[in-house]
Amino acid sequence: MPYFELKKDEVSFPPAYFADIDGLLAVGGTMSVERLLLAYNSGIYYWHYPLKHIKWWSPDPRIVLKPDSFVKSNSQQESLFKDFDIQVDAHFEEVLRGCQSVFNIQDRMDNNWLSERMIRLFMELHQKGYAHSIEVWQNNDLVGGLFGIAIGKLFFGEYVFAKVERADEAAMIYLIEKLKDQNFDLIDMQKESFLIPGFEYDEMPRLEYVDLCKENARLHPEDCQDF
């Protein structure tokens, strides 16, 4: 199937509905904070293999999680959280490094690889107030966590990791409850590096998802959420 090749000096994307049957929309382009933010706001996400071109995707349907529809009893949450201490945005880079330690497998350099270039870009997004982390601690050790991008009322999940059992689940539930309290509309769960078994996800048609992203960007220009 044909796809678009992006110019390095032009921050733009073709319409998401031009993606092929597998969801591949475009290849290439210079990775930057501006391009990443435009991608999130256009219903597009990236994968790129080490030493290869960046690939931009917009599959149909999209996998999402709606915080309002998530149900877990208080007793279940208390039972889970009692084993961990949870912090938010206190050690963002440590969460990125934790994700690297889990996903950067030397003999399997696949699209889950978290490169140093992306570390720098996510750090810049964090400094600008867009990127946020949930950190799970146990006995003063960082044992799990997640990070993603918050724009307006949408959260775009990037990576989640765990070094002990259920630390990733604790991070995800804490995130969901926090976003529910802040009236977020949904969490984008499309990237496999952000999926955890045992959670129920929804599917949203691509056109509906793209329209939601664009409307969210229109209503919340330059809107960084304070976690």
- pLDDT tens across 189-212, in order? 999 999 998 888 999 999 999 999
Is the Cβ–Cβ distance between 54 and 46 less than 8 Å? yes
φ and ψ of 146, to 5 deg: -155, 165
d(CA 87, CA 79): 17
Please check whether residues 55 and 91 belong to one and the same domain. Answer: no
Within a 10 A sphere around the Cβ of 171, how many other Cβ atoms? 26
- Quickly tell me which residue has 């999940």 as its tokens: 157
Domain contains 214: no
102 lies in the same domain as 173: yes
| In the predicted structure, residue 117 carries a pLDDT above the cut 80 | yes
Cα–Cα distance measured from residue 156 to residue 191, given in angstroms and rounded to the nearest whole number: 9
In one letter, which amino acid is 180?
K
| CATH code of residue 22 | 3.30.70.3550
Q: Which of 159, 153, 70, 178 is nearest to 112 (CA)?
A: 159
Could you read off the pLDDT of 49-68 as tens digits, one per residue?
Answer: 766 789 999 999 999 999 99
Residue 108 lies in a domain: yes
Matching residue, tokens 């926090």 = 178
Within-domain flag for 128: yes
The answer to whether 204 and 61 are in contact (CB under 8 A) is: yes
Q: Per-residue pLDDT tens for 72-104? A: 766 667 777 888 999 999 999 999 999 999 999
Q: Are residues 169 and 115 in the same domain?
A: yes
- Domain endpoint, select from 61, 82, 101: 61
**Are 105 and 55 within one domain?**
no
Residue where a domain terminates, one of 19, 36, 61 = 61
- The Cα-based distances of 171 to 29, 30, 97, 178, 202 in angstroms read 33, 32, 16, 11, 19
Q: What is the pLDDT of residue 76?
A: 66
Domain boundary among 25, 45, 61: 61
> CATH no. for residue 133?
3.40.630.70
% of the chain at pLDDT higher than 90: 76
Query: CA–CA separation, 151 vs 138, rounded Å?
Result: 30
Look at residue 48 in the predicted model and tell me its pLDDT. 77
One-letter amino acid of 162: A
Say yes or no: 50 and 34 in one domain.
Answer: yes
Same domain, 57 and 76: no
Same domain for 185 and 91: yes
Q: Provide the pLDDT for residue 108.
A: 80
Rounded to an integer, the average pLDDT of 162-180 is: 95
Domain count, the chain: 2
* The predicted structure's pLDDT at residue 154: 97
Indicate whether 219 belongs to any domain: no
Instruction: Evaluate whether residue 226 is within a structural domain.
Output: no
82 and 179 inside one domain: yes
Measured distance CA(132)–CA(151) in Å, rounded: 11
Question: Do 51 and 72 share a domain, yes or no?
Answer: no
**Which of 158, 120, 132 has the alpha carbon at shortest distance from 40?**
158
Q: Which tokens sit at 71?
A: 């149900």
Q: Is residue 227 part of a domain?
A: no
Q: Are strands 24-28 and 45-48 parallel, antiparallel or unpaired?
A: unpaired
Report DSSP state, residue 87: E
Whether pTM > 0.85 for this model: the answer is: yes
Query: Do residues 17 and 119 share a domain?
Result: no
Q: Residue 95 corresponds to which amino acid? A: V
Is 209 within a domain?
no
Residue 135's domain comprises: 63-203
Give yes or no: residues 80 and 108 share one domain.
yes
Q: Are 12 and 92 found together in one domain? A: no
Give yes or no for a contact between 189 and 120, defined as CB atoms under 8 angstroms apart. no
